[in-house]
Amino acid sequence: MSSLTSSHPAYQSGVEEIAEALSSRSYDLVSGEKVKQLLLQRSASALDDLEPFRESWSRMPLDSYMADGGRYRRRRHATLSAPRSSVDYRVEAHQPHYQGLDYNNLNGGVARHYEPFEEQNLRGRTMDSLLTLGCDIFGRLAPYSGWHIEAHQFRIEVDGEEVGLPTPEGVHRDGVTFVLMAMIGRSNATGGESTVFNLDKQPVEKFSLTDPLDLALVNDERVYHGVSPIEQIDPTAPASRDVLVITYRHKP
């Protein structure tokens, strides 16, 4: 873990640019190439385990809490926390994930006990780099807030039998303060278009996360978001879409 600041001026200006965009319009999109540059400016070893990290999505258990009966989603979960104006986060004891029905009318209202992240990935360099980047960006927007952080590994699969829904609850907010969504990988998949909506649920921008480490960041208190279904490019082979979602909620 490290202090909130990096001495590299390009890193500082890049993070400031993202924070300013997020402040002005409540969402921002950052290409995977730019993310890699930022992370490597901060630490030359920031992505040393990127490929094993991405490969870990192939070892995910099924999400057994799908109220629609779907078997198209795999998932792992972790809980962390960070003090205000700091990237010195800590990994908390494993605990269930909970959302009220107001935020998730499909799967909310129950404590969902997911399998934890594999330890080497949760404590690896890539995960550390993305967690601290989120702490840094969001800490500039809310410098007096500590964070309750939850991390989610998602894989959406399509094999021709079910529709693959990245957001089966539809257009939604997560009930947190900020959300960081990182593309990990796509295989034989098309679709999965993301849309940001204003508080009147009117669409304001559509985009697709396609390349590894493409990021979408949203102020969850000010916008809704949703993702369209994925489909197979080659109908004879399975398709998948892998995403890392990290949420940051104000912590008293």
The contacts found for 96-100 with CB under 8 angstroms, 24 or more apart, are: 97/150, 97/152, 99/174, 99/175, 100/175
pLDDT in tens, 87-121: 999 999 999 987 666 766 666 577 889 999 999 99
State the pLDDT confidence band at 1, using cuts at 50, 70 and 90: very low
Cα 29 to Cα 104: distance, rounded to the nearest angstrom: 24
pLDDT given at position 203: 97
Residue 38: how many other CB atoms lie within 10 Å = 27
Token output for 65: 């809490």
Give tens-digit pLDDT for 8-20. 888 999 999 999 9
The pLDDT of 162-190, averaged and rounded, is: 94
Q: What integer pLDDT is reported at residue 104 of this predicted model?
A: 62
Q: For a pLDDT cut of 90, what percent of the chain falls above it? A: 83
Nearest of 75, 224, 44 to residue 155 by alpha carbon: 75
- Measure Cα distances from 86 to 5, 135, 189 in Å: 9, 7, 38
DSSP 33: H
Query: Is 3's pLDDT higher than 50?
Result: no
Residues 211/185, Cβ–Cβ less than 8 Å: no
CATH number of 9-251: 2.60.120.620
Q: How confident is the model at residue 211 (pLDDT cuts 50, 70, 90)?
A: very high
Domain boundaries, the chain: 9-251
Q: In this predicted model, which residue has the larger pLDDT, 168 or 28?
A: 28
